[in-house]
Amino acid sequence: MHAPHRPPRHPHAWLPLLLLSQLLVAGIWWRWGWGVGLPSMLATHALAWWGVLAPGAALYGPVLARLPTQDREVWLTIDDGPSEDTAAILDLLDAHGAKATFFLVGDRAAARPELAREIARRGHGIGNHSATHPQAWFWALGPGRMLREIEDAQRQLTAIAGRAPRWFRSVVGHTNPFVHAPLRRAGLARVAWSARGFDAVQGDVDKVVSAIERDLAPGAIVLLHEGAPHGRNVEMIGRLLQRLDALDYRATLPDGDRG
């Protein structure tokens, strides 16, 4: 399955565009007054926030949200591990002949290195999901902290798995303007998703799987989680794999991630 791997080439291109937009707003305000100037300013600020909060927004840098294929293939991506669920999820994937990419948190992988190595040994992909998973504040991290979150995780995961991750997923999907410079340095491409069931917070297996199934299509990138407080992620992934088999979808990895 081909997936365009596109690390950012111009991670600071947003800055002159932002400055230009605010100069235009200032000119509009001066020429037509606050009645036009204020809505113009709010519109530019809303666009900037959309670029941060919308997981598939490419305002600040490239992002992959769907794979360019017409084959009945999907890319399963599992966030937030390693966890107590990892071993059971690996067994389920093996039982269904499915592959997945695990977007691991660096500190959690360092605490459970045997699980991270087992993911790689069984032929699955490992992606970078930050070093500490600062869920509440990732959207607001400055350039120094953002660099540490991404580069520390990259070093940790490379040392444990023996292979550098190629893909990055932002925490909670939020991507502020400071994400892409570290991605360029590390050769990482950002991945979003096109199918999700909110399985990190929703404990109803049927609702989660039904929501994902509604968005399935050739090339779908499916967002899944492990280790959620409701304790039902393993059951959800097992049920989803059954549905994929019934619908004749194959869960596979992008070409460059296949062992």
Q: Which residue has the tokens 């997981």?
A: 55
What pLDDT was estimated at residue 258? Answer: 61
If one compares 258 and 188, the residue with the highest pLDDT of the two is 188
Identify the active-site residue in 79, 80, 199, 257: 79
Judge if 135 and 224 occupy the same domain.
Answer: yes
Q: Answer yes or no: do 29 and 128 share one domain.
A: no
Average pLDDT in the chain: 95
Are 45 and 157 in the same domain?
A: no
The share of the chain scoring above pLDDT 90, in percent, equals 84
Residues 40 and 117 in one domain: no
- Of 36-50, 75-89, 113-127, 190-204, the one with minimum mean pLDDT is 36-50
Q: What is the DSSP string of 162-229?
A: SS---EE--GGG---TTSHHHHHHHT-EEB--SEE--TTT---HHHHHHHHHHT--TTBEEEEESS-T
Residues of the chain by 3-state class (helix, strand, coil), percent to 5: 45, 15, 40
pLDDT tens track for 190-238: 999 999 999 999 999 999 999 999 999 999 999 999 999 999 999 999 9
What number is the average pLDDT over the span 177-192?
98
- Residue 259 pLDDT > 60: no
Is 257 a known active-site residue? no
Same domain, 84 and 157: yes
Q: Which of 80, 124, 225, 257 is catalytic?
A: 225
Does 4 reside within a domain? Answer: no
Residue 62 lies in a domain: no
Domain count, the chain: 2
Same domain, 86 and 170: yes
Question: Same domain for 30 and 103?
Answer: no
Q: Would residue 245 show up in a list of annotated catalytic residues for this protein?
A: no
Asked if residue 106 and residue 44 are part of one domain, the reply reads no
Stretch 41-58: mean pLDDT, rounded?
92
- Which of the four pLDDT bands, split at 50, 70 and 90, describes residue 67? very high
Enclosing domain of residue 182? 73-257
